[in-house]
């Protein structure tokens, strides 16, 4: 089953989290890192990744720098100060959602269970 629809809502959080850990990354690198971390189980499509990156940039959560790499231009993304704050809030939001989802899927689970 394609998990693209499941990832859709958490794509921004994934990007922000990766950038928090890696300081600066470029588009292709992000897709590969996700693939690597999930052993290929989750694949971020480029058609979703770049618009999300540009959106986060427009919201002032990401800043960019351009570098010349082997005769071509590469755009690196990194977190702004606002972006760094946003990672924490997005992460707790997502964790809360996963907890609630767990409660629905496994009703026997005690409240307060942490993933």
Partner 1 sequence: MRKLTEQELEWIHTRLKSLHIRYTEVYEETFDHYHSALERCSVADSAEVFRKLNKDFSRDAVKKMEKELRKTSQKQVTKMQIESFMFWKYDVRTSISFIALSTVSVLISILFGKYLLSAWLGIVIVTGLVFMFSKDKSLFHFNLVFWKKSYVRAVTQEIYGRFAILSGVGISSILNIPNMRLEIIFHQAGFFDISNIFLLIVLIYGLSLFRIVLSLGFSTTTKLHSI
Report if residue 28 touches partner 1, rule: CB under 8 A: yes
CB of 69 to partner 1, least distance (A): 7
Of 13, 9, 2, the residue nearest 91 (C-alpha): 13
Integer Cα distance of 11 and 48 in angstroms: 8
Which of 2, 36, 40, 58 is in the footprint of partner 1 by CB under 8 A?
58
Token pair, residue 91, equals: 């992460």
Of 35, 15, 17, the residue nearest 26 (C-alpha): 15
Q: Which stretch binds partner 1 (CB under 8 A): 1-9, 13-21, 68-76, 99-107?
A: 68-76
Of 108, 78, 76, 114, the residue nearest 96 (C-alpha): 114
Which of 54, 65, 88, 96 is in the footprint of partner 1 by CB under 8 A?
54
Q: Which stretch binds partner 1 (CB under 8 A): 10-18, 44-52, 87-95, 99-107?
A: 44-52
Residues forming a β-bridge with 69:
72
Task: Give contact residues for partner 1 (rule: CB under 8 A).
Answer: 26-29, 45-48, 50-51, 54-55, 57-58, 60, 66, 68-69, 71-75
């Amino acid at each position: 089953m394609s998990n693209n629809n499941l990832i859709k809502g958490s794509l921004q959080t994934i990007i922000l989290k990766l950038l928090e850990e890696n300081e600066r990354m470029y588009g292709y690198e992000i897709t590969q890192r996700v693939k690597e971390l999930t052993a290929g189980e989750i694949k971020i499509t480029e058609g979703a990744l770049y618009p999300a990156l540009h959106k986060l940039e427009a919201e002032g959560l990401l800043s960019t720098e351009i570098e010349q790499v082997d005769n071509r231009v590469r755009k690196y993304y990194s977190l702004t100060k606002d972006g760094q704050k946003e990672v924490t809030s997005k992460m707790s939001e997502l964790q809360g959602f996963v907890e609630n989802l767990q409660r629905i899927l496994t009703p026997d689970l005690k409240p307060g269970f942490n993933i």
